[in-house]
Chains A and B, each alone.
Chain A
Amino acid sequence: DTGVSQDPRHKITKRGQNVTFRCDPISEHNRLYWYRQTLGQGPEFLTYFQNEAQLEKSRLLSDRFSAERPKGSFSTLEIQRTEQGDSAMYLCASSLGVTRNYGYTFGSGTRLTVV
């Protein structure tokens, strides 16, 4: 499988717990993105990596959220002290970052439910 992989597919957690999601991009893609999609909305940008460098974070990404991409390969998104408002689909995408390939490849997402 050469697509973008996300794990887990579904996560149910109690409010106040910490959760971590993983994304494995397409191997040759140097850019990796995290988006969040709530019910009835389009995806919203959270953060972006070029190789291992995190180049931008949305104001949606509060201090409870942290993302890493060690060695420029897979990425993790951690949410600390989860709140019910964090319930959403978290989408990862990757791209080669050149114009003709501009158009991400998305993973299937991790659906988070905070109860």
Chain B
Amino acid sequence: AQSVTQPDIHITVSEGASLELRCNYSYGATPYLFWYVQSPGQGLQLLLKYFSGDTLVQGIKGFEAEFKRSQSSFNLRKPSVHWSDAAEYFCAVGDRGGGSNYKLTFGKGTLLTVNP
């Protein structure tokens, strides 16, 4: 079964600093990979997604992520964090085919705190 591990439960960075959120997945083939952001009490907003091709994908709000097959990782990065980026971030993997290519498996999330 597929799974997602986000090793960092909580990360604190200063405004303007760079950010990297880690995500490792377990899947039998090349997966669909996603990053979502959730503000308190809100639903999830899609930041970016990887299906195939270029392993560095650009998303909204200045975020990017890099797919590394050899490390089974899909880490999220941002060069300069803004206070409004404080939220919870979820990595997810989707089945790439077959009868279950609609279901996402999420990690437990990383809570990002931004200090002024």
Contact = CB atoms under 8 A, between A and B. Distances in A.
Interface string A21-49: 00000000001010000001111110010
A43 B90 contact: yes
A97 B92 contact: no
Interface size class of B (residues with CB under 8 A): 20 to 34
B105 interface: yes
Contacts of A99: 51
B103 A109 contact: no
Contact of B42 (A41, A50, A104, A108): A108
Contacts of B49: 102-103
A111 B41 contact: yes
A100 B102 CA distance: 13
A79 interface: no
B101 to A, nearest CB: 8
B48 to A, nearest CB: 9
Nearest to B34: A103
A68 to B, nearest CB: 18
Contact of B106 (A44, A56, A100): A44
A72 to B, nearest CB: 15
A42 B92 contact: yes
Given A42-B90, A48-B103, A99-B51, A109 B43 contact: yes
25 contacts: A6-B43, A31-B102, A33-B102, A33-B103, A40-B108, A40-B109, A42-B92, A42-B107, A43-B104, A48-B102, A48-B103, A93-B44, A95-B102, A97-B102, A100-B51, A102-B32, A102-B49, A102-B101, A103-B46, A103-B49, A104-B104, A106-B43, A108-B42, A109-B42, A109-B43
